[in-house]
Chains A and B, each alone.
Chain A
């Protein structure tokens, strides 16, 4: 048996497994719609828990939605163990990328924007200079008069 036959057989086996199905997909679709309206609800004036809770809630909802899409629509739920080889390293890299940015966010947030902004304004770069041609025109004007 050649390598291709193996793959074909694996492919057919996957087809024969009872997974997916229109009913399941529609359920996932419904769940996604409900979750979207839930995160939209946090934005309305009826949300009682404040801004930061809303942010956390929305991220949790987004992660749930992402998991639903990946598991069911992208079939990762029913794939063999090869899925870990490709998804785990990439996820690790992205999660660490985010983590490495956390100190930066934290350092700025602790100051509060008002205090931070004064510090920042004090050490800010100079505002953009007037263009050379304009300066020249002014100088000429002054020299003329």
Chain B
């Protein structure tokens, strides 16, 4: 009896390489997800989904899209093995389109975050972890910038009596709107910011001052209703328990409000305001969310490029090895999302 020497695994080299690559990818994502878990569960506070405009049904829909694309890849492989090139190409096309749908939905979701100033870092990010004097200073800075901007829009003659709007190229409506904005900016400053600053100046770190800063933050960006969020917000802002003065903002769910909703704040009603917002744990949330989903999206894009290249070839049985390799990679991308979806959307 003679034994044969096998230099390597009993599979094509390409497949060996893909599996080796995937085993490193497992560790790559395990590291990222592990870090997320430590940060998420070690954090003092973590935003509830609606604090950061996460939509669970959209996330679930994307999970469904990726599962469908995984099926279409295996069907493409089956067809290619039987040398049904046209059918295989059709399934690859379906997979490609499903991948595009996933990315499109992801873009829509990112847009919802960006529209509310949920970026990981300045200068675009508006997120502050607690409503302290630094938050107040950021609000004042933005209000001042708005005043300058609106003042310039109104023009130098705005304050002069007898100013004739019709002379200007802009409509009277435009000036009315600018006037309205100026009034609102002044009101926010007078009703919310100044009392908080004054109370804190007279008695630094006073209970009243902290309550007033929280009121300012809630007026701009109300939290999702719920006792848990209220406790975390209170803890972050240095209260033993949620202050009774702010119960209406934090705990009680008004009649007619659905599960996990939040009230409309100044930023929601006036998108041009873009005032700094207070979300306990929000800074860490934006960092981890965009890192995890971003890396996953990059993997999806790489997969789409691979499918696009595949579609250039005739997909008969000689190409089944390549389809299998790309498919393995694509299933792995699906696998990562299977863990990311509950961790990011449902926990």
Cβ-defined contact, A113 with B26, below 8 A = no
Cβ-defined contact, B346 with A39, below 8 A = yes
- Interface set, chain B 60-108, CB cutoff 8 A to A: 60, 63-64, 67-68, 70-71, 73-75, 78, 81
Across-interface contacts of B23 in A (CB, < 8 A):
86-87, 89-90
Across-interface contacts of B345 in A (CB, < 8 A):
43
Q: Whose C-beta in chain A lies nearest to the C-beta of B45?
A: A113
Across-interface contacts of B60 in A (CB, < 8 A):
36-37, 40
The count of residues in chain B whose C-beta lies closer than 8 Å to any C-beta of chain A is: 62
- Bound CA–CA A20/B64 (angstroms): 21
Cβ-defined contact, B342 with A62, below 8 A = yes
Cβ-defined contact, B27 with A93, below 8 A = yes
Query: Per DSSP, are chain A's interface residues mostly helix, strand or loop, or mixed?
Result: helix
Cβ-defined contact, A29 with B71, below 8 A = yes
The count of residues in chain A whose C-beta lies closer than 8 Å to any C-beta of chain B is: 63
Give chain A nearest CB distance to B138 CB in angstroms: 11
Cβ-defined contact, A104 with B335, below 8 A = no
Chain B CB within 8 A of A78 CB: no
Give chain A nearest CB distance to B247 CB in angstroms: 18
Cβ-defined contact, B27 with A40, below 8 A = no
Which of A's residues lie within 8 Å of B, judged by CB?
A: 3, 6-7, 10-11, 15, 20-22, 25-26, 28-29, 32-33, 36-37, 39-40, 42-43, 45, 54-55, 58-59, 61-62, 65-66, 69-70, 73-75, 79-80, 82, 85-87, 89-91, 93-95, 97-98, 101, 104-105, 108-109, 113-114, 116-118, 120-121, 127-128
Which of B's residues lie within 8 Å of A, judged by CB?
A: 4, 6-7, 9-12, 19-20, 22-24, 26-27, 30-31, 34-35, 37-38, 41-45, 56, 60, 63-64, 67-68, 70-71, 73-75, 78, 81, 132, 134, 231-232, 235-236, 238, 240, 259, 321, 324, 327-328, 331-332, 334-335, 338-339, 341-342, 345-347
Q: Which 5 A-B pairs have the closest CB atoms?
A: A94-B30, A90-B23, A108-B42, A117-B44, A58-B342
